[in-house]
Amino acid sequence: MSPINSSRFPSISEYPEAILRKSEELPKYMSNEFIHVGHKNSVNSIALLQGRIFTAGHDYKIIFRPRLDSKKQINLIKINPHSIQRAHSRRINALETLGCRILISAGCQHKIFIWSLSRDLELASIIGPQEQNTNALLATSQKTLILAGSEGIIKIWDIESRILSKYYYGHDKSFNSIVQIHPSVFLSGSDDCTIKLYDLRTSKSLCTYMHNGSVTSLISWDDKSFFSASEKLRKWELRSSHVVNLYKSDEISAMEKVKGKLVTGGKFLTVWEDDVPGIIKTKNCRINRMKYNFLNESLYLGCSDSSVIALKFTYC
């Protein structure tokens, strides 16, 4: 599949349908590594801790994936879990890491679970109860944890002291995504069709970006811009609050930056090469979450059919 060159992102009005490249084959710079098994239902979240992969989802479990020797890898073999922890009694929506040994999980159980990693995953403490389901987690420092929930409320927790230090109100509906921009600055995206910008040093949101449709995913691109997703993909200028470009896409539920290229996931896995989408049709499942591991240059896909697919990126 040869790349299509473009000097810039085309606007949606000049975006011919024929420019989309759809294939069921992976491009030459990408290869299947493994399919991780173990979940019984949809995979909602993926986290990296000490180079190890943790996944969680609808089946209430956190699965600890084994470290693999790249010299012994065989394409398309199924890998069983290192350990399975029935961690919650309700669906897990989010995983986050704090430092090099702490994993945090939350979801529909209205509690925050804090786990310590030694040889295996051990429950260290529980914070709760919470008034709402937790849809997204973001650790902005070694002790600050941001929770975004189903009621449109953001909570800021000091994990060391277990103190709830701040609330943010502003969204009318459930959160889908939060992303860090700078050490104290973050964005939130909601079903209320807005994106809001916050600074932890202030008591209110700094700015609102109006979105035509529920915001399903956010990703920070550089210190001047970010992407948001719904039924279309938008690139925003952070300071002006303006949409720089608008792109046709299938509905997106996850985004990652891989070697300087934007990768989006949903019904399709899409690699935006030279600012033009190359669409790769996955098997009959939806990509819910993605996480890129810089150590082994692999992209992990958490899918609706309970699988976790690892793809190797070999290009520079």
Confidence of residue 231 (pLDDT cuts 50, 70, 90): confident
Confidence of residue 243 (pLDDT cuts 50, 70, 90): very high
Name the residue type at position 286. R
pLDDT at 236: 94
pLDDT at 78: 78
pLDDT at 313: 80
Instruction: Give tens-digit pLDDT for 278-310.
Output: 666 555 688 999 999 988 888 999 999 999 988
Instruction: Give tens-digit pLDDT for 118-131.
Output: 878 899 999 887 77
Q: Is residue 306 part of a domain?
A: yes
Confidence of residue 15 (pLDDT cuts 50, 70, 90): very low
pLDDT at 274: 59
Q: Is residue 122 part of a domain?
A: yes
Domain housing 61: 18-313
Q: What is the mean pLDDT of residues 309-315?
A: 80
pLDDT at 6: 30
Sorted by sequence, the CB contacts under 8 Å of residue 294 that are 6+ apart come out as: none
DSSP string, 100-133: TTEEEEEETTS-EEEEEESSSEEEEEEE---SS-
* CA 270/CA 131 separation, integer angstroms: 37
pLDDT at 202: 93
Q: What is the mean pLDDT of residues 107-114?
A: 93
The overall average pLDDT reported for the chain is 83
Instruction: Give tens-digit pLDDT for 184-218.
Output: 999 999 999 999 999 999 999 999 999 888 999 99
Instruction: Give tens-digit pLDDT for 129-142.
Output: 777 899 999 998 87
Q: Is the pLDDT of residue 70 over 80?
A: no
Q: Which helix (H) or strand (E) holds 197?
A: strand 194-199
pLDDT at 14: 37
Q: Is residue 150 part of a domain?
A: yes
Confidence of residue 26 (pLDDT cuts 50, 70, 90): low
Residue labelled with tokens 């420092």: 141
Q: What is the DSSP letter of 81?
A: -
pLDDT at 142: 79
pLDDT at 235: 93
Q: Is residue 54 part of a domain?
A: yes
pLDDT at 281: 58
pLDDT at 181: 93
Sorted by sequence, the CB contacts under 8 Å of residue 74 that are 6+ apart come out as: none
pLDDT at 4: 25
Q: Token pair for residue 95? A: 């995983």
Domain count, the chain: 1
pLDDT at 277: 60
Q: Is residue 2 part of a domain?
A: no
* CA 136/CA 86 separation, integer angstroms: 20
Instruction: Give tens-digit pLDDT for 158-184.
Output: 988 889 999 998 898 999 999 999 999
pLDDT at 285: 80
pLDDT at 279: 65
Q: Is the pLDDT of residue 17 over 70?
A: no
* CA 301/CA 287 separation, integer angstroms: 6
Q: Is residue 6 part of a domain?
A: no
Q: Is residue 13 part of a domain?
A: no
pLDDT at 16: 33
Q: Is residue 244 part of a domain?
A: yes
Of 97 and 15, the structure prediction assigns the larger pLDDT to 97
Decide if 288 contacts 253 (C-beta within 8 A): yes
Q: Residue 52 sits in a domain of what CATH number?
A: 2.130.10.10
